[in-house]
Amino acid sequence: MDYTKILNEIKDELSSFPNDGKIATYIPELSKVDPEKYGVHLHCTSGSHHAFGDCKERFSIQSISKVFSLSLVMKLLGDALWDRMDVEPSGNAYNSLFQLERENGIPRNPFINSGALVLADILVSEFEHPKDEILKFVRKISDNASIDFDEKVAQSEKEHGHRNAALANLMKSFGNIKNEISSILDIYFYQCSLAMSCEELSKAFMVYANEGKLLKTGEEIVNPIKVQRINALMQTCGFYDEAGEFAFRVGLPGKSGVGGGIVAVHPEKYSVAVWSPKLNERGNSLLGMETLERLTTKTGLSIF
Amino acid sequence: MDYTKILNEIKDELSSFPNDGKIATYIPELSKVDPEKYGVHLHCTSGSHHAFGDCKERFSIQSISKVFSLSLVMKLLGDALWDRMDVEPSGNAYNSLFQLERENGIPRNPFINSGALVLADILVSEFEHPKDEILKFVRKISDNASIDFDEKVAQSEKEHGHRNAALANLMKSFGNIKNEISSILDIYFYQCSLAMSCEELSKAFMVYANEGKLLKTGEEIVNPIKVQRINALMQTCGFYDEAGEFAFRVGLPGKSGVGGGIVAVHPEKYSVAVWSPKLNERGNSLLGMETLERLTTKTGLSIF
Amino acid sequence: MDYTKILNEIKDELSSFPNDGKIATYIPELSKVDPEKYGVHLHCTSGSHHAFGDCKERFSIQSISKVFSLSLVMKLLGDALWDRMDVEPSGNAYNSLFQLERENGIPRNPFINSGALVLADILVSEFEHPKDEILKFVRKISDNASIDFDEKVAQSEKEHGHRNAALANLMKSFGNIKNEISSILDIYFYQCSLAMSCEELSKAFMVYANEGKLLKTGEEIVNPIKVQRINALMQTCGFYDEAGEFAFRVGLPGKSGVGGGIVAVHPEKYSVAVWSPKLNERGNSLLGMETLERLTTKTGLSIF
Amino acid sequence: MDYTKILNEIKDELSSFPNDGKIATYIPELSKVDPEKYGVHLHCTSGSHHAFGDCKERFSIQSISKVFSLSLVMKLLGDALWDRMDVEPSGNAYNSLFQLERENGIPRNPFINSGALVLADILVSEFEHPKDEILKFVRKISDNASIDFDEKVAQSEKEHGHRNAALANLMKSFGNIKNEISSILDIYFYQCSLAMSCEELSKAFMVYANEGKLLKTGEEIVNPIKVQRINALMQTCGFYDEAGEFAFRVGLPGKSGVGGGIVAVHPEKYSVAVWSPKLNERGNSLLGMETLERLTTKTGLSIF
């Protein structure tokens, strides 16, 4: 498969794509990004790399980080984790309280905000320095010690985080948050502020395409069965209330963030990251989804 | 992969499985089935067959039939179909009115009851004898002219179909049903009454594992891109509000019915059907899900 | 209290009222009415009458009729009625399915559509000719044998009644409708088609201002305790999801209809009917509510 | 009307009332109360007093205090208040987030928790020492300088107030809370901790039965029109999702609290307070509602 040729075709076709998406503005820091940024990086299990555009520029990965915290927590806990959250698509917006209230403070899955807050709660319970552990994990799978939180983004999240505070307080009222709410929110906001490029993301996500092992050394980072389950969760829950659309159009497990990034993996074949900050109305990168749809259409291969 | 050996292991392991599921009783006909029935049939793209138990006995396939009507409609219509329904998991029970009301009569996906009723409406609009067309399609992909509706089940459904009549009337009030409600319900109830064995189902579903082509002749029945999309829909929406659980535990696209049947496909590898009438509280075969989870665990292979 | 003077003041003040309401158009027959019609008729327990405008012209009373069917049913049944519906404000639109589904087919109160359909079901069970009984009751309390259904309106309702059919089917699936759905809907649509003038309505509703007795003869039509309860229901549930607003601004028990009529009673003092077809966005007569607010403000008297 | 005789009858009849209610236990302080406490105090506009039982013992008035904060805010603000909350029954539990989320952070009415939190927010904006102002108002209308907050109850509320913190944060995310959440919650918890006896409560609520004036001096404390509106709100929204039931059975404007107190007023006739800590499943005093139903049944008089 000539991925370089395919990526170039996509780049050409989409150069005139009418993009009426809107960048995220709910925190000031995110609204400062150049809306025309666009980059892709694809990393094959064979070791080859293919890319174009702004693929080396870091951006705020936001909810993509939830895959990392889920992986960390799944390494710590066994099935006990699933007493505190479910594995079902929510059918609702990522920050909805409605379902959480009806279901007694049990989040539908780890990728909606409430689920990620429970993951943060577990990290606070299990680690003395949970933020350091997150960094350590990401730096390890990316083989890159320079990856870091963006302080300005984290602060900006904190100042506008009332909806997340509402979710955490609601869950605490049901007993599904054990620690101080401020400490949970602190981890959550820092984790979301991680700044990474498409190149770095596709390298980090190789572990999910490669049965849980680092490509370079073969070291197992996540158990293969757990990797399959994380991928299944990305497939059914990785795109908020647009997970079905992504499965339908693209056909790969993936995860998006409101910073405009999307990562996807084709198990045993490749991991890919795309970045374009303008979001569709459901909060996913409009050009990013289009790019990945063309990728699986042109290769003729999805997991389905 | 020695599927016969694996199936035998599963059979042995589950011979003492404590099954506290309940058979469907909402219509009298379904409640008459022997709850201890249990069979599996697996059909490889290589042509080999593997099976055990009551794999040759016909049962009511119920919602599994929605895959057939979706395939028929996707052959008739292009993307216009998706103006009338979405491709998202519902996050709600299969017969819920709540979401349908809030979303102005547009079903979340073709596999919840409301979506299947819209499919039936399209079949009424497009065909003079829609029930015959359904039979024709199923007989063709199963290479079996004896497959038929079960009149008693269809009548029983009709007598207890008020919830489905509510769904159809609600959609008609929003203009998303074009034909007479009684004619829509008639097709829907007959379609759900189709009686097939695991062997027949796994043969019929081979078309979804084999890029849309009949294994024997290579004839293309459904376009390969459409097959990928049908498989994606099975993955995200095939198990009502338990689709995430099935993806998480089994990791294959599949579809269940309240008659206790489940079909699943591993694209390019195999199609499999399992039958055990006792359902879990979300309406899916309890032993059926357990069987398929062990199948993908033992083979070490899922689509993820 | 000089009601004639007060009504004249209101008429003058509201002659230039900017009315941006919209007439009901969901059935063709209702949309044919002259939107500028406006009339009031007030009937005192002392026997005096006060009126202005189109107070003698008949219009479609629609949901106001639910007070009559409730009264008939409360005469037939004791507290057994309340096993089949509740007495709480719904907090939702009058034709909402959401709450009815969540609450297992038990309507919140007799004045939302689902509640009125259960009333119709009871009338079918209890009477051989339920429509005749409704007419008999209304003619009796109005002392007017010419009051009748409007066939065209009833037919028009029937042709556009899919939402009500959805409600009835949903309740039947929960066992809260006992008779054939078509016969229930027939009564419901005819009852809503009753044509009455403000003068006739205020006369009919005198029974609710006069402890259940006909003013002229003193004959008890409804038990006084039941009248208090019907008035309480009008207060808390008589205006769909605007019941609080009517209590807050007007302060009288009342009932509205999408034909633009509103009736209200001040127990022991008067009954009043107003008609103006333009509705606010919650389906209540915009000028009608304004008129009644000024009436209780100018008299300084509400039940509160 | 011989109220003393009527109250004695009620006392006798209910001495053997089978009370299967449960005292509130969500905060430890409330769970310490003697569940068998029972007292009534009725205060006529004529000046007479009638009482029995534990009518002089103070208890935690909880949500009854919302009538006081609403009165204070209505004195400060005109109709601008109603831009920040509605006047409709919620149809949902008093602490539900679902509706608040769907309606963009605008509470349905001032008597559900979210509405009372907005009232607290306004008191923080308008007063330097809002808690003092609440005390001043209650002491004034009760003519009793000894009424005070219960520090232990207030602290206990604070430690278990995560649900209220969730409500406040959700509203802040929509811009409907202007001040620091901790300061809002502080006022809210103290206000709910007010300790008053039935005698004190019935005296305080006389202002709502007496057109806003103190009975002793005739001094106008609340504008008469505003009093009518507060009474209307008590009628439609004073009992959470049981407001309809209270209107139906009792027929008076009233307000309950989870401490087991209920106050009700018959405008121009009397105010009455009853206390019995065992609550029905919707959080209202079971024996209290029964007592008031018998009161209006025996007098034959309700506002309806």
The per-residue pLDDT for D10 is: 97
Kindly state whether residues B161 and B209 are assigned to the same domain. no
What backbone phi and psi angles, to 5 degrees, belong to D148?
Answer: -155, 170
The per-residue pLDDT for B92 is: 80
What backbone phi and psi angles, to 5 degrees, belong to C207?
Answer: -60, -30
B211 touches chain A (CB under 8 A): no
A93 touches chain D (CB under 8 A): no
Number of H-type helices and E-type strands within chain B:
13, 7
Q: Nearest chain D Cα to A172, which residue?
A: D162
Q: What is the pLDDT of residues A2-25, one digit of tens each?
A: 999 999 999 999 999 999 999 998
- Please name the residue that has the structure tokens 């647009």: A242
Mean pLDDT of chain D: 95
Contact A88 B245 (CB under 8 A): yes
Kindly state whether residues A140 and A33 are assigned to the same domain. no
Q: What is the percent of chain C with per-residue pLDDT over 90, rounded to a whole number?
A: 91
What backbone phi and psi angles, to 5 degrees, belong to D97?
Answer: -95, -25
A166 touches chain D (CB under 8 A): yes
Does residue A95 have a pLDDT over 90?
no
Q: Nearest chain B Cα to A210, which residue?
A: B304
Q: What is the percent of chain A with per-residue pLDDT over 90, rounded to a whole number?
A: 91
The per-residue pLDDT for A285 is: 97
The mean pLDDT value for B17-30 works out to: 91
Kindly state whether residues B139 and B85 are assigned to the same domain. yes
Q: Which residues of D touch C74 (CB under 8 A)?
A: none
- Please name the residue that has the structure tokens 């904060």: D69
The Cα B67–Cα A74 span in angstroms is: 34
CB A80: neighbour CB atoms within 10 A?
A: 9
Kindly state whether residues A101 and A46 are assigned to the same domain. no
Mean pLDDT of chain C: 95
Contact C304 D235 (CB under 8 A): yes
Q: What number of C-beta contacts closer than 8 Å exist between A and B?
A: 110
Q: What is the pLDDT of residues A113-142, one digit of tens each?
A: 999 999 999 999 999 999 999 999 999 999
Q: What is the percent of chain D with per-residue pLDDT over 90, rounded to a whole number?
A: 91
Contact A89 B87 (CB under 8 A): no
CA distances from A82 to A217, B245, D54 (A): 31, 11, 50
Q: What is the pLDDT of residues C134-144, one digit of tens each?
A: 999 999 999 99
**Nearest CB neighbour to C88, from listed D241, D251, D302:** D241
Q: Parallel, antiparallel, or unpaired: how do β-strands D195-196 and D254-256 relate?
A: unpaired
Kindly state whether residues D253 and D286 are assigned to the same domain. yes
Kindly state whether residues C184 and C205 are assigned to the same domain. no
Q: Nearest chain B Cα to C26, which residue?
A: B173
What does the block give as tokens for A66?
Answer: 């939830």
Q: What is the pLDDT of residues D177-204, one digit of tens each?
A: 999 999 999 999 999 999 999 999 999 9
Q: What is the pLDDT of residues C99-117, one digit of tens each?
A: 899 999 999 999 999 999 9
A99 touches chain B (CB under 8 A): yes
Is the CB of residue C165 less than 8 Å from the CB of residue C181? yes
Boundary-marking domain end, from D159, D192, D225:
D192
Kindly state whether residues D163 and D264 are assigned to the same domain. no
Contact C91 D87 (CB under 8 A): no
CATH of residue B32's domain is 3.40.710.10
Q: Which residues of A touch B93 (CB under 8 A)?
A: none
Q: Nearest chain A Cα to B224, which residue?
A: A300
Q: Nearest chain A Cα to B267, which residue?
A: A304
> Given pLDDT bands bounded at 50, 70 and 90, which one contains residue A208?
very high
Q: What is the pLDDT of residues B191-201, one digit of tens each?
A: 999 999 999 99
Among residues B201, B180, B59, B160, the alpha carbon closest in space to that of B117 is found at B180
> Given pLDDT bands bounded at 50, 70 and 90, which one contains residue B95?
confident
CA-based radius of gyration for chain A: 18
Which residues of D are identified as catalytic? 63, 66, 188, 240, 258
Among residues D206, D185, D52, D35, the alpha carbon closest in space to that of D121 is found at D185
| Residue A224 placed within a domain | yes
Q: How far is C266 from chain D (nearest CA, A)?
A: 8
Does residue B240 have a pLDDT over 90?
no
**Nearest CB neighbour to C87, from listed D109, D235, D245:** D245
**Nearest CB neighbour to A163, from listed D98, D102, D170:** D170
Q: Which residues of C touch B163 (CB under 8 A)?
A: 169-170, 173
The per-residue pLDDT for A92 is: 80
Q: What is the pLDDT of residues D70-127, one digit of tens each?
A: 999 999 998 899 999 999 998 887 778 888 999 999 999 999 999 999 999 999 999 9
**Nearest CB neighbour to D166, from listed A96, A98, A166:** A166
The Cα C27–Cα C279 span in angstroms is: 15
The per-residue pLDDT for C94 is: 72
Kindly state whether residues D222 and D283 are assigned to the same domain. yes
| Residue B123 placed within a domain | yes
Lowest mean pLDDT segment, chosen from A28-32, C91-95, D71-75? C91-95
The mean pLDDT value for B96-122 works out to: 94
The mean pLDDT value for A30-59 works out to: 96
Does residue A256 have a pLDDT over 90?
yes
| Residue A227 placed within a domain | yes
Does residue C241 have a pLDDT over 90?
no
Q: How is residue D177 annotated by DSSP? A: -
CA distances from C77 to C74, C82, C83, C110, C227 (A): 5, 9, 11, 14, 14
The mean pLDDT value for A284-293 works out to: 97
The per-residue pLDDT for D27 is: 85
Kindly state whether residues D71 and D183 are assigned to the same domain. yes
Contact A304 B231 (CB under 8 A): yes
Q: What is the pLDDT of residues D235-284, one digit of tens each?
A: 999 998 899 999 999 999 999 999 999 999 999 999 999 999 999 999 99
Does residue D176 have a pLDDT over 80?
yes
Kindly state whether residues B162 and B209 are assigned to the same domain. no
Q: What is the percent of chain C with per-residue pLDDT over 70, rounded to a whole number?
A: 100
Is the CB of residue D3 less than 8 Å from the CB of residue D246? no
A86 touches chain B (CB under 8 A): yes
The complex scores an ipTM of 0.94
Kindly give the residue spans of alpha helices, DSSP state H, lying in C15-161.
28-31, 65-76, 98-102, 113-126, 130-142, 151-159
| Residue A281 placed within a domain | yes
The Cα A252–Cα A265 span in angstroms is: 6
Q: What is the percent of chain D with per-residue pLDDT over 70, rounded to a whole number?
A: 100
A182 touches chain D (CB under 8 A): no
Q: Which residues of A touch D173 (CB under 8 A)?
A: 162-163, 166
Boundary-marking domain end, from A154, A169, A192:
A192
Q: What number of C-beta contacts closer than 8 Å exist between B and C?
A: 45
B172 touches chain C (CB under 8 A): yes
C165 touches chain B (CB under 8 A): yes
Encoded amino acid at A302, one letter: S
Contact A102 D102 (CB under 8 A): no
**Nearest CB neighbour to C166, from listed B98, B102, B169:** B169
Boundary-marking domain end, from A192, A211, A232:
A192
Q: What is the pLDDT of residues A149-202, one digit of tens each?
A: 999 999 999 999 999 999 999 999 999 999 999 999 999 999 999 999 999 999
Task: Mark which residues 134-163 of C lie under 8 Å from B by CB.
Answer: 162-163
The Cα A75–Cα C11 span in angstroms is: 76
- Please name the residue that has the structure tokens 């009753």: C194
| D168-191: b (≥16 Cβ within 10 Å) or e | bbbbbbeebbebebeebbbbbbbb
Contact B233 A248 (CB under 8 A): yes
Q: How far is A179 from chain D (nearest CA, A)?
A: 13
The per-residue pLDDT for D267 is: 97
D104 touches chain A (CB under 8 A): no
CA distances from C91 to A166, B149, C71, D80, D96 (A): 23, 45, 23, 23, 13
Contact C166 B166 (CB under 8 A): yes
What does the block give as tokens for D58?
Answer: 């103070």
Classify the C-alpha dihedral A65-A68-A70-A73 as positive or negative.
negative
The per-residue pLDDT for D86 is: 97
Q: How far is D197 from chain A (nearest CA, A)?
A: 30
Kindly state whether residues B224 and B242 are assigned to the same domain. yes
Mean pLDDT of chain A: 95
Q: Nearest chain A Cα to B264, which residue?
A: A304
Q: Which of C86, C114, C205, C228 to mutate to test the interface with D (most CBs of D within 10 A)?
A: C228
Does residue B129 have a pLDDT over 80?
yes
Contact A97 D101 (CB under 8 A): yes
A172 touches chain D (CB under 8 A): yes
Number of H-type helices and E-type strands within chain D:
13, 7
Contact C173 B162 (CB under 8 A): yes
Q: E strands of A213-260, at which residues?
A: 254-256
The per-residue pLDDT for D95 is: 75
A167 touches chain D (CB under 8 A): yes
Active site residue C22: no
| Residue B304 placed within a domain | no
C228 touches chain D (CB under 8 A): yes
Q: Which of C3, C38, C240, C270 is catalytic?
A: C240
Q: How far is D149 from chain C (nearest CA, A)?
A: 30
Q: Which residues of C touch B167 (CB under 8 A)?
A: 166
| Residue A242 placed within a domain | yes
Q: Which residues of A touch B269 (CB under 8 A)?
A: none
| Residue A304 placed within a domain | no
Neighbours of chain A (3+ CB pairs under 8 A): B, D
| Residue D99 placed within a domain | yes
Q: Which of C96, C236, C249 to mutate to test the interface with D (most CBs of D within 10 A)?
A: C236
Among residues B284, B276, B290, B280, the alpha carbon closest in space to that of B256 is found at B284
Q: How far is C158 from chain B (nearest CA, A)?
A: 12
Residue D235: partners with Cβ closer than 8 Å, 6 or more residues away: C235, C236, C247, C304, D243, D247, D252, D253, D254, D303
Task: Mark which residues 26-65 of A lie under 8 Å from B by CB.
Answer: none
The mean pLDDT value for A248-271 works out to: 97
Residue C90: partners with Cβ closer than 8 Å, 6 or more residues away: C96, C99, C108, C109, C112, C237, C240, C241, D91
What does the block give as tokens for D38?
Answer: 């029972």
Is the CB of residue C261 less than 8 Å from the CB of residue C275? yes
Residue C126 lies in domain: 63-190
Kindly state whether residues A181 and A238 are assigned to the same domain. no
Number of domains in chain A: 2
